[in-house]
Amino acid sequence: MPRAKKRAKSGWSRRKFLQTAGVAVATMAFPEILISCGPQSNSTPTATIPKPRKGASIRLLQWTSFVKPADAEFKRQAAEWGDANGVTVAIETVTGDQLQPKTAAAVEASSGPDIIQMQYGWPQLYTDSCLDVSNEVNILIGKLGKPDPVNEAFCKVNGTWRAIPYTVVPNAWTYRTDYFQQAGVSSFPTTWDELTAAAAKLKTTSKPISQTDGHAYGDSLTMWNPVLWGFGGKEVNADGKTVAINSKETRDAIKWAQGAVQAGFVVHPEWLDPDNNQAYHANRISGTLNGASIYIREKIEFHKYTDVTNNAPMPSGPKGTFAMNLIFNHAVMKWSPDAETAKAMLLALMEKDQYQKWTMIAAGYNAGPFESLHNDPVFASDPKLKAFQDVVAPGKWPGWPAMPSKKTAQAQTQYIVADMFAKALANGGTGDIEAAISAAETSLKAIFERP
Amino acid sequence: MGTATRADAVPAWHQRRVRIYDREAPLGYFLLLPTLVVLGIFLLYPFLFGIWLSITDSELGNVGKFIGLGNYRFEFRNTDGVFYGAVINTFLYTGVTTVFKLSLGLVMALLLNQIFPFRRFVRAALLLPYIIPTVLSYEAWRWMFDPTFSVINWLLVNTHLVHYPGPNWLGVPANAMAALMIVNVWRGTPFYAISFLAGMQVIPVDLYEAARVDGASRRQQFINITLPLLRPVLLVVLLLSTILTFADFQGPFVLTNGAPYNSTQLLSIWAYQWGIPGGAIGLGAAISLVLFPLLTIVVAVVLFMLRRPE
């Protein structure tokens, strides 16, 4: 049928044109309709855009980024919004390990900053102190598309959004191409077994591939959870109750780790989060797993190994490719006297053009938590940053496949998975596997079976 | 009527004033009141609040309900070994560091009690570890213990005392515990030394002169004069230091945070991990109070020894 073919080719029919035009007119007249038709619209049928109050004061507490200009841009944008709306905005930044004690103190005192950056599963820990922001998240969904599943898992507690998705800090491997070539390794390994082989070759250069297996609140978790998942292991079943660490899959993961260490992969139980960065910049190691900060600082600050540095996504295990990234979201706290103003500010900072100005200055350290922010121009600006874009999709959260909860957060903060690997990797990768698994199982049961 | 006669002779305002000064007990309590209020607000209330938290299932931001000794039972019945490991480590850490701080403090005080050039400068310099902000000094120690950049290892290797790359200070359980102890001794010894020095300086010099006339050796003077007269200071310092070391948090938290695999876990860090990042503030309070009965006995023994006559 020629007419039908023609219509199919153009993709338009009279009926479709009328439908589209009708929706467009209605949307212009009532913008809430568009918002309420977003992917999460079933939870809030209509959305109300929060209005800032002139004369209000807003305090926001978050961590200090490893990329300093990103903090400066965030503060500039917040101040600009404050000036335009007659709101005094104060952004307070503290180091990552200070953020939770400060948050906990504010929660216990029911007083403090109006907005607090929530890392990992804090909305699950401090649910009652975080206001319901479902309305605001649905507005963002209407504008920016589906949220990243990991941000959603952390922000949504029992079906209610308790934080507004803010960013993903992707974790990928940063490595020295010169040492890899010297050792005869042409590219970064794509499987964990290849990583073992590469580590063995790099041993000859005395610049090993290294990572922490200590109590580093970022790097330890982002390394050992994906290894566990890649071999099919898990801490707990999807029900969030049944501890499942004692399995053949966990043994396989640990055996791989022991093999890697015996081959030449070097683990450091004493390293905290900044230590692998320092070791890389000091030319002591040939590769490590980290946020993009190592590469970015080489590129914009140190200029020593920029040309011989590249980045690679997570290797795959027999059960697939997994990653764990740092996930940050913003919660509006229940004690805020100007919660509407706080929500309005967060919405303004998440506007696509504003947000991408910030991610561009963050130089690839941050990725957007909504669908339309995924193809951020910053990742196209430098091909070496692509690895950091690639690790966002396979990202999971501690405790996966169980949904984030207070209990998964407790297991995470007690470093149970990292400690299990660290015990088995002691003495050059010859630790007692069964003792390590048994200790992890007992600790997990204590948490998940606690009433 | 004697009473009436006295009342007639003394003006009323003067009579009241004399009565207050005559009754020492009420005046004493009255003068103590500001101190008691301050202690009540800053010591008693947090302490009682901590006890109350420990017998509830409180979580951060949520007031819990009474669960009796449930939190204590949970930890004592937990078989993962972390809690019992933390108890053992806490005792070990406190015991070893206290012995070293006591001995080194005493030696330092004896040396500083001598007359030598720049002694005032040296005495002031001794307090440096106490003056430097705590976290800053621990970060410096972390750097010194770092296997990649360790200045200690550099010295040890270059003086051929150990083979390259030297000990992994914070990455091996025994070394990590030793490192924690070294830093605690470094920071705590000046407190002992200065307190002992203050105690030594009030010992009458004529006692030593008389001993010397009687032919007493330095060692005999130390054992028979210095130590007995220093006993009250020594016991008070010992008491304070033991309590503070039992509860030490900052140093171990900055240096190891319990790693490697909880081998340097102390009760203070374990309580923090449950209470703050884990949100179970009731359980955290219970862990931090576990040693309270034992510490009470230690305090009672020391106080008894202080009150005991020579």
Q: Are residues B86 and B48 in the same domain?
A: no
> Within a domain: residue A246?
yes
Whether residue B80 and residue A443 make contact (CB cut-off 8 A), yes or no, is yes
Residue of A nearest to B67 (CA): A451
User: So what's the pLDDT on residue B29?
Assistant: 87
> Does some domain include residue A35?
no
Asked whether residue A319 falls in the same domain as residue A245, the answer is yes
C-alpha distances (whole Å) from A58 to each of A80, A337, A346, A432 are 13, 9, 11, 52
- CB-CB under 8 Å, A108 with B261: no
Domain boundaries, position A160: 57-170+326-384
Same domain, yes or no, for B46 and B153?
Answer: no
The answer on A420 and A282 residing in a single domain is: yes
Phi, psi of A329 (to 5 degrees): -135, 165
Q: Are B96 and B32 found together in one domain?
A: no
Backbone angles phi, psi at A87, to 5 degrees: -115, 135
A196/A283 same-domain check: yes
Q: Nearest-CA distance from B58 to chain A in Å?
A: 11
* Within a domain: B19: yes
Q: Please report, as a single letter, which amino acid is at residue B91.
A: F
Contact yes or no for A108 and B78 at CB 8 A:
no
* Contact flag A410-B61 (C-beta cutoff 8 Å): no
Number of separate domains in chain B: 2
CB contact under 8 A, B170 and A104: no
User: What end-to-end distance do the CA atoms of chain B give, in Å?
Assistant: 53
Statement to judge: residues A288 and A200 lie in one domain: yes
Asked if A284 is an interface residue toward chain B (Cβ–Cβ < 8 A), one would say yes
| Side-chain half-sphere exposure of B173, counting CA atoms within 13 A | 14
What is the sign of the dihedral through the CA atoms of B211, B217, B220 and B226?
A: positive
Note whether A114 and A342 are within 8 A (CB): yes
Contact A166, A367 (CB under 8 A): no
CATH of the domain at A68: 3.40.190.10
A48 lies in a domain? no
Considering the domain architecture, whether residues B203 and B247 belong to the same structural domain is answered as yes
CB pairs A-B closer than 8 Å: 97
**Same domain membership, residue B93 and residue B27:** no
Domain that residue B32 falls in: 12-52
**pLDDT single digits (tens) B38-92:** 999 999 999 999 999 999 999 988 889 999 999 999 999 888 889 999 999 999 9
- Residue A13, in any domain of the structure: no
Is the same domain home to B45 and B89?
A: no
Residues A68 and A215 in one domain: no
* A272, A413, A422: residue with CB nearest B260: A422
Helix (H, G, I), strand (E, B) or coil at A305: coil
Question: How many separate domains does chain A show?
Answer: 2
Query: Is A419 at the interface with chain B, CB within 8 A?
Result: yes
Residue with tokens 């949970």: B74
Q: Indicate yes or no: CB of A282 within 8 angstroms of CB of B148.
A: yes
So what's the pLDDT on residue B82?
A: 92
- Could you tell me whether strands A395-396 and A323-324 are parallel, antiparallel, or unpaired per DSSP bridges? parallel
Calculate how close chain B gets to A272, using CA atoms only, in Å. Answer: 9
Burial of A76 (0-12, 13-18, 19+ CB in 10 A): middle
For residues B98 and B33, membership in a common domain is answered with no
B261, B266, B281, B283, best to mutate vs chain A, most A CBs in 10 Å? B261
| CB B175 within 8 Å of CB B84 | no
Cα gap A266→B147, rounded to integer Å: 12
Query: CB contact, 8 Å: B168 with chain A?
Result: yes
* DSSP line for A378-436: HHHH-GGGHHHHHTTTTEE-TTTTSPP-HHHHHHHHTTHHHHHHHHHTHHHHT--HHHH
- Cα–Cα distance, A389 to A386 (Å, whole number): 5
Which CATH number fits the domain that encloses residue B294? 1.10.3720.10
B123 in a structural domain: yes
DSSP-derived secondary structure for B71-136: HHHHHHH--SSHHHHHHHHHHHHHHHHHHHHHHHHHHHHHHHTS--TTHHHHHHHHTHHHHS-HHH
Judgement on whether residues A310 and A231 belong to the same structural domain of the protein: yes
Tens of pLDDT, residues A89-113:
999 999 888 899 999 999 999 999 9
- Among the candidates A349, A384, A419, a domain finishes at A384
Residue B41 sits in the same domain as residue B187: no
Q: Which residues of B touch A450 (CB under 8 A)?
A: 74
CA closest to A104 among chain B residues: B276
Do A302 and A253 fall into the same domain?
A: yes
User: Inter-chain contact B60–A126, Cβ cutoff 8 Å?
Assistant: yes
Phi, psi of A301 (to 5 degrees): -125, -55
CA distance A443 to A447: 7
Write out the DSSP string of A346-380: HHHHTSHHHHHHHHHHHTTS-B-SBGGGTT-HHHH
Enumerate residues 238 to 277 of chain B having a beta carbon within 8 A of any beta carbon in chain A. 256-262, 273-274, 276-277
- What does the DSSP assignment read for A240-254? SSSB--SSHHHHHHH
A81 vs A308: CA distance, rounded Å: 41
3-class DSSP state of A157? strand
Return d(Cα A132, Cα B305) in angstroms, integer.
59
d(CA A118, CA A107): 12
Task: Determine the pLDDT at residue B125.
Answer: 85
- Residue A209 DSSP code: B
Same domain? B22 vs B170 = no
- Across the interface, do A442 and B260 touch by the CB < 8 Å criterion? no
A186 with A295, same domain: the answer is yes
Binning pLDDT at 50, 70 and 90, where does residue A217 land? confident
Does B6 fall in a domain?
no
Q: Is A377 helix (H, G, I), strand (E, B) or coil?
A: helix
Of A128, A270, A279, the CB nearest to B259: A270
Classify residue A1: in a domain, yes or no. Answer: no
Question: Lowest-confidence range among A32-41, A245-254, B44-53, B215-224?
Answer: A32-41
Residues A199 and A296 in one domain: yes
Q: Are A172 and A314 in contact (CB under 8 A)?
A: yes
Measured CA to CA, the distance from residue A409 to residue A413 in angstroms comes to 6
> Pick from B79, B257, B279: which is nearest to A215 by CB?
B257
Within 67-96 of B, beta carbons closer than 8 Å to A belong to: 74, 78-82
Separation of alpha carbons A415 and B277, rounded Å: 11
Closest-approach residue (CA) in chain A for B77: A446
Quick check: is A102 in a domain? yes
In a domain, B60, yes or no: no
Residue B75 within any structural domain of the chain? no
Q: Is residue B4 part of a domain?
A: no
Q: Tell me, yes or no, if A278 comes closer than 8 A to chain B by beta carbon.
A: yes
A278 and A370 co-located in one domain: no
Same-domain status, B94 and B29:
no
The closest alpha carbon to A192, from A320, A79, A68, A83, belongs to: A320
C-alpha dihedral sign at B19, B23, B24, B29:
negative
User: Which residues from A are below 8 Å from B180, CB to CB?
Assistant: none
Q: CB count, 10 Å around CB of A140?
A: 26
β partners of residue A266: A210
pLDDT-derived band at A430, boundaries 50, 70, 90: very high
Encode pLDDT of B205-249 as tens digits. Answer: 999 999 999 999 999 999 999 999 999 999 999 988 988 999 999
Q: Kindly state whether B46 is in contact with chain A, defined as any CB-CB distance less than 8 angstroms.
A: no
- Residues A240, A340 within the same domain: no
A272 near B CB under 8 A? yes
Contacts of A422 in chain B (CB under 8 A): 259-261
Determine, yes or no, domain membership for B66.
no
Domain-located, residue A22: no
| A410 contacts in chain B (CB < 8 Å) | 274, 278-280
Is B149 part of the contact surface with chain A (CB cutoff 8 Å)? yes
Contact A272 B257 (CB under 8 A): yes
Instruction: Quickly list H helices, A242-318.
Output: 248-263, 273-281, 293-297
- Taking the Cβ of residue B152 and every Cβ of chain A, the question of whether any pair is shorter than 8 Å is answered with no
Phi then psi for residue A350, to 5 deg, are -90, 0
- Dihedral, B55, B56, B58, B64 alpha carbons, nearest 10: -160
Q: Is B104 contained in some domain?
A: yes
Question: Rounded to whole angstroms, how far apart are CA atoms A26 and A35?
Answer: 12
Whether B278 has its CB under 8 Å from any CB of chain A: the answer is: yes
Q: Are B171 and A270 a contacting pair at CB < 8 A? A: yes
Which member of B145, B146, B277 has the closest CB to residue A413?
A: B277
- Residue A24, CB half-sphere, CA atoms under 13 Å: how many? 6
Same domain, B158 and B221: yes
CA distance A414 to chain B (A): 7
Question: ipTM of this model?
Answer: 0.82
CA distance A138 to A35: 7
Q: Across residues A236-264, what is the average pLDDT?
A: 97
Out of A33-42, B41-50, B86-95, B284-293, least confident range: A33-42
Closest residue on chain B to A431 (Cα) = B261
Per-residue confidence at B121, pLDDT binned at 50, 70, 90? confident
Instruction: Quick: pLDDT tens for A370-427.
Output: 999 998 999 999 999 999 999 999 999 999 999 999 999 999 999 999 999 999 999 9
Nearest to A129 among B61, B79, B171 (CB): B61
Q: Cis (ω within 30 of 0) for the bond into B46?
A: no
Question: Where do the H-state alpha helices sit in B132-217?
Answer: 134-145, 151-158, 173-201, 205-213
pLDDT above 50 for A180: yes
The answer to whether position A47 is within a domain reads no
Residue A6: its H or E element: helix A2-10
Same domain, A375 and A439: no
Q: Do B136 and B31 fall within a single domain?
A: no
| DSSP per-residue letters across B49-73 | HHHHHHTB--BTTB---B-TTHHHH
Residue A102: half-sphere exposure toward Cβ, Cα within 13 Å: 19
Return the number of other C-beta atoms located less than 10 Å from residue A251's C-beta: 17
* Domain-terminating residue out of A339, A359, A384: A384
As to burial, measured by CB atoms within 10 angstroms (0-12 exposed, 13-18 middle, 19+ buried), residue B205 is exposed
